[in-house]
Amino acid sequence: MEKNTPQKNKITKEGFINKHVDEKPEACENLASMPYDELKAIAHELSVHQIELEMQNDELHRIQEELENTRDKYTNLYDYSPVGYATINEKGIITDVNLTLVFMLETDRGQVIGKHFSRFIFIEDQDLFYEFRRKLMANDSFQSLELRLVKKGNTLFYANIECMTVKTIDRSPRQIRMAVTDTTRNKKSENKRQSHGQSWLATFNLLSDWVSIIDINTGIILDTNTAGERLLGKTRSDIIGQTFRSLVSNGTGTVPNCPLEKMLKSGKQEITEIYLAKGHTWLSVTTDPIQDEHSQIHRAVHIARDITEQKRSNEAIRLHEERYRQVVNNANEGIVVIQDGLIVFANPKVSDLVGLSGDDLIDLPVFTFIHPDDRDMVSINDQYRMDHEKVPGIYRFRFIDKNKAIKWIRTNSIGIRWEKKPATLNFLTDITEIVRCETKQQGIDTTIIHS
């Protein structure tokens, strides 16, 4: 038998399938009459085709396994995402939900799938969600909404819901994909911040001092409290936008020792007293820097305190002290304060008695000027007086001045507190001439008696 050439007798899979498989069944009977070489070629082609099918089958198995792994991976990502996901149809029925949202609702997937989403919305927010869903389906756009959802035990939690519509096969919006985030903690923090903000604002406005926040670049007041309104006789809206300088400069446009300028130079707190001609008011203005997150000064806070009454009181005290000083300095009596045996205050009359200036007298021991024979008496009287015991209020003793001259002094002493410590206040009168006259008179009386 002549051997056929490969080119002439080559049979492909397509040829074999077209010739033997797609033909009528009875055509297969012709195989028995085929030459051996042709049958051998067909068997080879079938063997090759079987190997290719097995390879394709292995590849399909591999691809299927990869698809299953990918499906499992994305299923896990979907189910265990930190965000809850759900799909609802145009009637609001939940058609799919991930485990995160199920856990949020504290239920199981079977109790969620097929249920109307409104069932899990707080009753007071259901109308809000209905209107939101209606607009979403009409506008076919990404939108978000904050709702109160209800979980097991009718416990409420705040949730932010971000929604978008997806088209079905007929390209019309029929489903809504939702991403649900539990914002309860954020809401509580926000409420806490608002509460703190309200408390701060209430405190801000209850302060009796005028407090204003200043932009250091423009000097413009950014905020002020109600004390500023009362002090300036202006509304808050009238004050905000003005410069502090324009409000307190009495129309001159300048502020001597401007606290803001001083603070910007020093970088620390500065205090200045400012006089307002309108209302004849004195202000003590404290200016503190406010730093940003980069520790740069970007604002300042002015705290202005009305010190008019304090100024008046201080002036009244100053005038009173001045009058008192004039009385003390011009008194005909010597006035001296003794504490722990030392002179701590002496008026000019004491300086005349001793012959030393007032500064030279301070901190000198008082017994330096008392006659040695009278020191015990004076010491005992002073001690008893500081101990609040009864002693003669007025008595005499001998005094020695700078020139060693002996003078008779009459003193009237009382116990006082000086610089928070016990002391005696002593009024000294020079009675030397009186004592001499008394002595002379006594001598005359004695002569008369013995004559």
Mean pLDDT across the stretch 338-358? 91
**pLDDT tier for residue 30 given thresholds of 50, 70 and 90:** low
Mean pLDDT of the region 331-360: 91
- Give residue 170's pLDDT: 63
Nearest Cα neighbor of 245 from 298, 304, 296 is 304
- Check: CB of residue 121 under 8 Å from CB of residue 148: yes
Span 358-381, mean pLDDT? 89
CA-CA distances (angstroms) from residue 431 to 379, 381, 405, 440, 443? 20, 20, 14, 14, 18
Least confident segment among 35-39, 108-112, 291-295: 35-39
pLDDT band at 272 (very low <50, low <70, confident <90, very high): very high
Structure tokens at 382: 């002073």
Order of all β-strands in the sheet with 173-182: 94-97, 84-89, 173-182, 155-167, 143-151
Ramachandran quadrant class, 275 (left: phi over 0; alpha: psi -120 to 50; beta: rest): beta
Confidence category of residue 8, pLDDT binned at 50, 70, 90: very low
Whole-Å CA distances, 419 to 101, 279, 316, 416, 422 = 76, 38, 22, 10, 8
Confidence of residue 13 (pLDDT cuts 50, 70, 90): very low
Mean pLDDT, rounded, for 268-286: 90
User: What's the maximum distance between 2 C-alpha atoms anywhere in the chain?
Assistant: 204
For residues 122 and 299, what is the distance between their CA atoms, to the nearest angstrom?
45
Residue % of the chain over a pLDDT of 70: 89
Q: Is the pLDDT reported for residue 306 higher than 60? A: yes
Q: How confident is the model at residue 16 (pLDDT cuts 50, 70, 90)?
A: very low
User: Which amino acid, one-letter code, is at 372?
Assistant: P
Ranges 11-20, 131-140, 201-210, 339-348: which has the least confidence: 11-20
Judged against a pLDDT cut of 90, whether residue 187 lies above it is answered with: no
- In one-letter notation, the amino acid at residue 154 is N
Whether the pLDDT of residue 298 is over 60: the answer is yes
What's the average model confidence in pLDDT over 67-93? Answer: 86
- The mean pLDDT value for 82-89 works out to 92
Report CA-CA distances (Å) from 173 to 87, 96, 130, 164: 13, 17, 16, 10
Asked if residue 370 has pLDDT above 80, the reply is yes
> What span, in angstroms and rounded, lies between the C-alpha atoms of 246 and 187?
42
> Stretch 71-86: mean pLDDT, rounded?
85
Exposure of 259 by Cβ count < 10 A (0-12 exposed, 13-18 middle, 19+ buried)? buried
The mean pLDDT value for 346-363 works out to 91
The pLDDT of residue 443 is: 81
The side-by-side arrangement of strands in the sheet containing 297-306 is 221-224, 210-215, 297-306, 281-291, 270-276
So what's the pLDDT on residue 383? 74
CB-based contact 240:223 (threshold 8 Å): yes
Beta bridge mates, 339 = 342
Q: What is the per-residue pLDDT across 120-138, written as a single tens digit (0 to 9) for each?
A: 999 999 999 999 998 888 8
Six-digit token string for 10: 């080559």
> What is the pLDDT at residue 304?
94
Decide: residue 254, CB within 10 A, 0-12 exposed, 13-18 middle, 19+ buried. Answer: exposed
Per-residue confidence band for 31, with pLDDT thresholds at 50, 70 and 90: low
Q: Yes or no: say if 285 and 271 are a contact pair by the CB < 8 Å rule.
A: yes
Average pLDDT of the residues of the chain: 85
Which amino acid appears at position 6 of this protein?
P
Question: Mean pLDDT over residues 332-359, rounded?
Answer: 91
pLDDT computed for residue 188 by the predictor: 86
Q: Residue 395: pLDDT above 90?
A: no
pLDDT at 392: 66
Whether the CB-CB separation of 98 and 85 falls below 8 Å is answered with yes
